[in-house]
Structure 1
Amino acid sequence: MKLKKLRDKMINNSIDFYIVPTFDPHGSEYIPENYKEREFITDFSGSAGVAIISLSEAYLWTDGRYFIQAEEQIKNTGFTLMKMGFSGVPSYTEWIGNTVEKNQTIGLDLECFPQESYEKLKSSLRFKNINIKNINLIKEIWEDRPLPPKGKVYIYEDKYAGKTSKEKLLEVRREMKNMKSEITIISSLEDIAWLFNIRGSDIKYTPLVMSYAIIEEDRALLFVDLEKISNDVKNYLESFCELYNYSDIFNYVEKYENTSIYVDKNKLNNKLFNCIDKSNEIISGNNLTEKLKSIKNSTELANIEKAYIKDGVALTKFIFWIKRTIKNKGITEYEAELKLREFRKLSKDYIYDSFDTISAYEKNAAMMHYHASEENSSTVKNSGFLLVDSGAQYLEGTTDITRTISMGNLSSEEIRDFTYVLKSHLMLATCVFLKGTTGKALDSIARYNVWKNRTDYKSGTGHGIGCFLSVHEAPPSISPRALESPMEVGMIVSNEPGIYREGKYGIRTENILKVVYDEKVDDDIFYKFNTISFAPIDIDAIDVNLLEDYEINALNSYHREVYNKISDYLTDEERKWLFEVTKNISK
């Protein structure tokens, strides 16, 4: 029905193909509810994907994290799944470049289409006389579309931020000078929140506010819905910047002429980019704030580590609870999720979860981003694995951690795969690497052991994490697709290899790592990782005979830390249990 309504609109507007990406105007990974147009038209709820609709066909592109989920959710919608990264599967730009015919028209909302993506699309069509029409057809058929968010903006205090906004603006201006730019336009919500030391509630699980910013050599301008700004926040912001209404950004940018302007084309939408006068010199690259934000200052690091202790306590209590409870009765995945949140809420600085908790039993865990609901939730029994990937937003920082928990009897295949995932996890956690090493190189180190087991996982091994910001933060990335951005001291990154057997189970072990200095040898500087998240790894699921001595020592050392850091916050019964499950293992 939705596709028919959309196609009727396409015919009325003489459009042959309509593209629906997963973006808001800021290139965000997680977007406000009112911008979830691709989810509306496809029923696929994953955080990444592009839909293309013609008058006779409809396709959804998404990556390996979501293949199983997408297949299930788009059933009976009229869409066909295109598995990104698979041999023989074209990208959506390649597909449309090969499919569209001369003089046809493509429709899309250019306010929700990053300039970089637009240029790739144009390149794929360069040999055809194609008209790209800026139009939003989804809003015309989405009858119960959510209203734009109206949550208030609040100040992120210096005791958490570690640096004032004025100090951060000086750092940005130094970077502007290095790049020979007089102005930078910032549309990334995480970067604006970090730079101005503000937070909001416009996106679920992520404390951001819809906004744009312009930084000049002697002025800072913030474009935001002024109704969200209280008098206290207004006074704070106006002490170092000028405030404008959110929609004023388009007219304001048109004023600049004969100026060097730095932009991030992966974040800046095409509509705003086209407002920049042609007389200006465009300098493009990742936002100047991006790397500054990713290297945490000493205050942020100290606070983040406090957040992970609180989070480890909650997760440890949860593991104890579910292992005891499951002996007597079944628990649904959804009930398990609620119980874990209940433990997290015991901390006074808990704000809300940092993403949709993945509480996935047996075969559901093979879907990397599965989410149980009250209406659709499997019962966890006294056997197999429960995978729980979860995190929280605390004032001190953002957390993310995964444990695969043995619920009882396990098969030899489950134990073997769990052990190989652990081996990969420990290899990354204990590796020493040369300054300048990229996440792409580290990814191969992490995958070595699962590759030895002739398996792979269709996701990255690790991602950066913000400080009371997004649970996914660039540029840190440990992935085959990681950009050539090296690891830097002070970055925070996840370590989460896995093995996923469709129709059987999924296994993932995730901790969070801090990049630290190791030592200098001659002219070479070496870095390493320190693990900063703490909860027991299930020793009941390990085949110790598959572990090497260094892996056994690393796990035992980690478990000693878990007990030392977590035990004081537990009841006597919980503490005795933790002592047992973190005991040294040996062959």
Structure 2
Amino acid sequence: MKTAISERLQLLREQLKREHLAAFIFPSTDPHQSEIVPYHWASREWITGFDGSAGTAVVTMNSAALWTDSRYFLAAAEQLSGTEFQLMKMGLPETPSITEWLAHELHELDGPEIGIDGMVESSVEAETLIAEMREHGGITVRTNFDPLQQIWNDRPEIPLNPIMLHPLKYAGEDTISKLRRIRQALREKHADGILVCALDDIAWTLNLRGSDIPCNPLFVSYLLISSTTATLFVDSRKLSPEVEAYLQTAHIDVAPYEKVKEGLAHYFEYNILIDPSEVNYTLSKAIKCQAVVRETSPIPALKAIKNSTEIAGFRQAMKRDGIAMVKFLRWLRPAVEAGGQTEITVSDRLEQFRAEQALYKGVSFPTISAYEAHGAIVHYEPTTATDIPLKPCGFILIDSGAQYLDGTTDITRTIPLGPITDEQRHIYTLVLKAHIQLELCKFPDGTSGTRIDAVARQPLWREGLNFMHGTGHGVGSYLCVHEGPHQVRQEYKPAPLHAGMTITDEPGIYLAGKFGVRIENTLIVEDYQTTAMGHFLQMDSLTLCPIDLSAADLSLLTPEERSWLNSYHQYVYDELAPELNTDERAWLREATKAVK
């Protein structure tokens, strides 16, 4: 692989020389700013060999570097080893920004020009880059060039997987109603229409699902909504007669995917809303109407509040997922003690248990099955090269989830496979306390996730511990496992929390070279009470799975934390026990027994 990367860099530099470009930037995105992209757009991965979901690669004629965040520091260092790429650790004070690094690398050149593909760079990112490069010695940016069209010989085609209807019994609201609410939200922003690029927003609006994106039931397309019309830009080969008839009934026109620029050129309204963080730079420049409203798309906020049908679906999906988790956890330790198990084999076994459940459609993200030191790599995914055998001692961290027709799941459990160290027990207990504190939180309606993030971190901060990823994210309804706009994290995220939103609770601590601990449930935001001081919210667990207490120092838990554990475990038992056989029920009774 290292040789292949070197050869690809050589081919790229030959292209840059022919185009008179001094550098090229490869983000991790596609034309829809997807978190996970179809491999046709996996340009950054192809040029670097680094397969994490986040990162930006920059290549000059004489140097190369990759920027990524703390989730991938260890994984990126390993995958980039032996290549020309220098790892740039984002968030550290000594790490230069991409523009600072480029200015330094190109400072001896006279009027250099760098390149980006404007079809995969968001409007806001491209505009920021252009402005900053101008400030750094007048470096210009070309946006209409994709060098990999010439040098990626076996580049996969854009997927042509069929699009499927998402029935009303799972969606809970028809497309005509959703379009009506979207148009009302647009009027409130003084916009006549919107170009929708985010694939999960399109799937939600149209009550359609696909399989173009790994782990996410999405399909490659654009949606142009005006005050009276809506056009889906999609390859027609993906549409069955049933889906075509459905779109006609919903008054949705269909045009070829590659004709979206022409659609924008013929857009007839006075103005259009584009979300600069979602619409790519090239399409933002193709708009010809009188005015552009640069605003946040209203669709994510609408999508984030689940209706009663979706919430009921989540609860049913979580019950089936909980059954699979109980079967797996009951199997795990005896299997490890018997020998022959590895990170990959137990991950595969968990997927098998889930696949036995009704309405299962696949995993919602690649399973993180991380034993001991691998658990400290936040987004570690075992491969044949990194897979290691499991021993009946220490921790395995398993972060996993599934897609069901009626909901999406996301759960993390850190499981002791045998004896653990005092340090492991102490860290596990602190993470458990952090998890429970967020579950217990009560807060005013409209509070942002940033304001409650500290609630979860307090037990860790008191001992000088912290984690650098977010504490929680929204979860889609048979959509993306990471869904916004709301989050719970240290960095300021103003999106308010309201009843009906899903949010994960996943604090963790990671000690490099030793182990990692993370405990995660998916929660639903609910009404709590209304007082003279306003309306307050709380969160309730959707996830149904015991939390292993054999690894915890129960003396460190407060009475309130113990009470929450007992209540949660009783709830888990009551919901799952009727669906289990006698032996499984006995195991679950022991796993959920009350803490005194």
Structure 2 residue 130 is matched with structure 1 residue 122: yes
Who is 2:8 aligned against? 2
* Residue of structure 2 equivalent to 1:269: 280
1:111 aligns with 2:119: yes
User: Which of 49, 53, 72 lines up with 2:78 in the alignment?
Assistant: 72
Instruction: Give the C-alpha shift of residue 258 in structure 1.
Output: 7.2
2:251 is equivalent to residue 259 of structure 1:
no
SS at match of 1:534: coil
RMSD: 1.3
Offset, 1:99: 4.8
- 8 A contact 2:522–2:541 mirrored in 1: yes
The corresponding residue for 2:210 is: 200
Secondary structure of the structure 2 residue equivalent to 1:568: helix
Give the letter aligned to residue 114 of structure 1. S
Q: CA deviation at 1:311?
A: 0.6
Moved more, 21-30 or 98-107: 98-107
Q: Select the residue among 245, 249, 252 that pairs with 2:256.
A: 245
CA displacement at 1:182 relative to structure 2: 0.9
Shift of 1:316: 1.3
Contact 2:226-2:269 at 8 Å conserved across structures? no
* Contact 2:195 2:274 (C-alpha < 8 Å) held by counterparts: yes
Distance 1:374 1:42 in 2: 19
CA distance, structure 1, for counterparts of residue 163 and residue 27 of structure 2: 28
Instruction: Determine if contact 1:202/1:208 at 8 Å carries over to the other structure.
Output: yes
1-structure distance, mates of 2:100, 2:408:
37
Aligned to 1:387: 397
Whether 1:42 and 2:48 are equivalent positions in the alignment is: yes
State the distance in 1 between where 2:332 and 2:380 align: 20
1:319 pairs, out of 304, 329, 344, with 329
Q: 1:90/1:297 Cα in 2 relative to 1: closer, same or farther (>3 Å)? A: same
Please tell me whether the aligned partners of residues 467 and 507 of structure 2 are also in contact (alpha carbons under 8 angstroms). yes
Question: Which residue identity lines up with residue 266 of structure 1 in the other structure?
Answer: S
Contact 2:133 2:141 (C-alpha < 8 Å) held by counterparts: no
Moved over 6 A (4+): none
Equivalent in the alignment of 2:177? 167
Q: Is the 8 A contact 2:170 2:310 kept in 1?
A: yes
| Number of equivalenced pairs | 585
- Per-residue deviation at 1:482? 4.2
SS in 2 for 1:463: strand
Task: Tell me by how many angstroms 1:94 deviates.
Answer: 4.1
Asked if structure 1 preserves the Cα contact closer than 8 Å seen for 2:134 and 2:140, the reply is: no
Question: Structure 1: which amino acid aligns with 2:222?
Answer: Y
Residue type of the alignment partner of 1:6: L
Note if contact 1:517-1:527 (Cα within 8 Å) is conserved in structure 2. yes
What is the CA–CA distance in structure 2 between the aligned matches of 1:224 and 1:300, rounded to whole Å? 27
Deviation at 1:125, TM superposition (A): 1.9
1:26 paired with 2:32, answer yes
1:437-476 pair list within 5 angstroms = 437-476=447-486
1:350–1:395 CA contact under 8 A, matched in 2:
yes
Cα distance in 2 for partners of 1:295, 1:206 equals 19
| Correspondence for 1:232 | 242
Listed one character per residue, the Cα deviations across residues 111-161 of structure 1 (whole Å, up to 9, x for unaligned) are: 111101011101212334333222111232222222221100111111100
CA contact (8 A) 2:170 2:313 kept: yes
Cα deviation for residue 363 of structure 1 reads 0.5
Cα distance in 2 for residues equivalent to 1:406 and 1:574: 19
Displacement of 1:98: 5.5
CA distance in 1 between counterparts of 2:557 and 2:45 reads: 43
Determine the C-alpha separation between the residues in 2 that align with 1:499 and 1:316: 25
Q: Provide the C-alpha distance between the structure 1 equivalents of 2:141 and 2:59, rounded to a whole number of angstroms.
A: 14
Preserved CA contact (<8 Å) 1:463 1:476: yes
Q: Distance in 2 between matches of 1:365 and 1:108?
A: 35
Could you say which residue in structure 2 is the equivalent of 1:575?
Answer: 585
Question: In the aligned structure 1, how far is the partner of 2:106 from the partner of 2:484?
Answer: 34
TM-superposed CA distance for 1:503, in Å, is: 0.5
Query: Is 1:132–2:138 an aligned residue pair?
Result: no
Work out the CA distance in 1 between the residues paired with 2:416 and 2:152: 44
Query: For each residue in 1:498-523, what CA deviation from the matched residue of structure 2 results, as whole angstroms up to 9, or x when unmatched?
Result: 01011111110000111001001103
Letter in 1 for 2:261: F
Give the Cα–Cα distance (whole angstroms) in 2 for the partners of residues 245 and 498 of structure 1: 45
Match of 1:176 among 172, 182, 186: 186
Indicate the SS of the match to 2:426.
helix
Match of 2:199 in 1: 189
Does 2:113 match 1:91? no
Instruction: Report the counterpart of residue 443 of structure 2 in structure 1.
Output: 433
Could you tell me how far 1:481 is from its partner in structure 2? Answer: 2.1
SS at match of 1:331: coil
Q: What one-letter code is carried by the residue in structure 1 that aligns with 2:325?
A: L
- Partner of 1:368, secondary structure, is coil
Residue 338 of structure 1 and its aligned partner are, at CA, apart by 0.7
Tell me which residue corresponds to 1:350. 360
CA offset at residue 450 of structure 1?
1.2
Task: Select the residue among 404, 411, 415 that pairs with 1:401.
Answer: 411
How many Å apart are 1:103 and its aligned residue?
Answer: 1.3
2:192/2:269 contact within 8 Å kept = no
- Asked if 2 retains the 8 angstrom alpha-carbon contact of 1:258 and 1:281, the reply is no
Please state how far the C-alpha of 1:251 moved relative to its aligned partner: 1.1
> How far apart, CA to CA, are the structure 1 residues paired with 2:269 and 2:494?
32
| Alpha-carbon distance in 1 for matches of 2:53, 2:561 | 35
Partner of 1:216: 226
| Counterpart-to-counterpart distance in 2, 1:546 and 1:97 | 52
Structure 1-normalised TM-score? Answer: 0.98
CA contact (8 A) 2:130 2:140 kept: no
Contact 1:295 1:491 survives alignment (8 Å): yes
Q: C-alpha distance in 2, partners of 1:374/1:16?
A: 37
Which amino acid is 1:154 matched to?
A: M
CA distance in 2, matches of 1:415, 1:376: 26
Q: Which moved more, 1:247-256 or 1:209-218?
A: 247-256
What amino acid maps onto 1:358 in structure 2?
I
Identity percentage of aligned residues: 38
SS in structure 2 opposite 1:380? coil
Deviations 1:186-214 (A, max 9, x none): 11100000001111111111011101011
User: Equivalent residue for 1:551?
Assistant: 561
CA contact (8 A) 2:220 2:234 kept: yes
Judge conservation of contact 1:257–1:280 (CA < 8 Å) in 2.
no
Q: 1:221 to 1:556 in 2, by over 3 A?
A: same
Name the CA distance, whole Å, in 2 between partners of 1:490 and 1:258.
Answer: 34
Partner residue, 1:529: 539
Query: Post-superposition shift, 1:290?
Result: 0.9
| Alignment correspondent of 2:3 | none
Pairwise CA distance, 1:97 = 4.9
Q: Is the 8 A contact 1:330 1:381 kept in 2?
A: no
* 2:4 counterpart residue number: none
Distance apart, 1:284 and its partner CA: 1.7
Shift of 1:90: 2.7
Distance, in Å, in 1 between the alignment partners of 2:32 and 2:430 is: 39
TM-score, structure 2 normalization = 0.96
The answer as to whether partners of 1:312 and 1:535 remain within 8 angstroms in 2 is yes
Conservation of the 8 A alpha-carbon contact between 1:97 and 1:124: no
Report Cα offsets for 1:361-402 as digits up to 9, x if no partner.
000111111111245311111000011100000000111000
